[in-house]
Every structure is written in structure tokens, then in C-alpha cells.
Amino acid sequence: MKHTMKLQKKPFDAILKGKKNIELRLNDEKRQQIQVGDKIIFKLDDLDEKEFKATVVALHHGDSFVSLFKRISLYDCGFVGETSVNEAVKSMREYYSEEQEKKYGVVGIELSEIYWATRCLTDNALVLRYITGEKWRR
């Protein structure tokens, strides 16, 4: 199955550059439809029409971001350096309220294999992946 999701520039770039391979979301009705093996088209949340497609290789569910972050790597979620669980949760509050988190729970969508990119060939590594179909690895 194919899904489409929008991303802001920072997480969009982090996934493309291999600095993030788990996308964090509420486990709302739309995300509950996602299964391992599905493809997701990620679109940059602006007018540039940049996008890429990735494969879902694992789903990590939690009642809260705190419980999820205790089981998965903060680094794989795009948090770098000395980021603590509390700092990561605070960062997620920019996107989701505590009420939303309690209502839906959360999911970490683990990604692999960027298949193609449109109008997003910004560096040689991405061009190489685009041409050869190389599997995405850190």
C-alpha cells in the first residue's frame, strides 16, 4: 500500500541525508493503516514540490513519546548529541499536544530504501541513490 505524508524541512533533510531513519507520528487513524512493507511518499511541506519515497521496515508503538523513546534510539529519530528523553519529548510538543498523544498513542515509523526523489537532487550522494537504486543505509 502507498501513503503520503508531509514533512517540514528539517526532518525531510535529515531523512534524505541519512541522519534519521525513524519518523515519529501520532498513531491516529491515518497512521494505523500503515503496515511493514508499505511505501510512503514524503513531501516537503512547502511549494518546492520536493519528495521521496521510502519503505516501511518496522513500526514501533508506544502509549507516549516517553515510553517509545525508552525502547528506540533517539539518534535514529534524528536527535543528536546529548539529547535526553525529556528534551526529545519537549521537541515533539512543537508538533503534538499531550492530549493528542494520550488520545492516539504514538508510532515510530522505521524507514529504509529511498526509491526516488523528484526535484530534490541536491548533492552527489542523492544523485547516486537516484541513479543506482542503492539501498539507503547510514
- Measured CA to CA, the distance from residue 14 to residue 19 in angstroms comes to 5
Between strands 51-62 and 39-44, the pairing is: antiparallel
How would you write 18-55 as a 3-class SS string? Answer: CCCCEEEEECCHHHHCCCCCCEEEEEECCCCCCEEEEE
In the beta sheet, which residues pair with residue 44? Answer: 7
Contacts of 77 (CB under 8 A, 6+ apart): 20, 22, 24, 69, 88, 108
Query: Using one digit for the tens of pLDDT, what is the confidence trace for 14-52?
Result: 898 888 999 999 999 999 999 999 999 999 876 767 888
pTM of the model: 0.81
Question: What is residue 9's three-state secondary structure?
Answer: helix
Q: What is the pLDDT of residues 75-107, one digit of tens each?
A: 999 998 878 999 999 999 999 999 999 999 999
Q: How confident is the prediction for the chain on average, in pLDDT?
A: 84
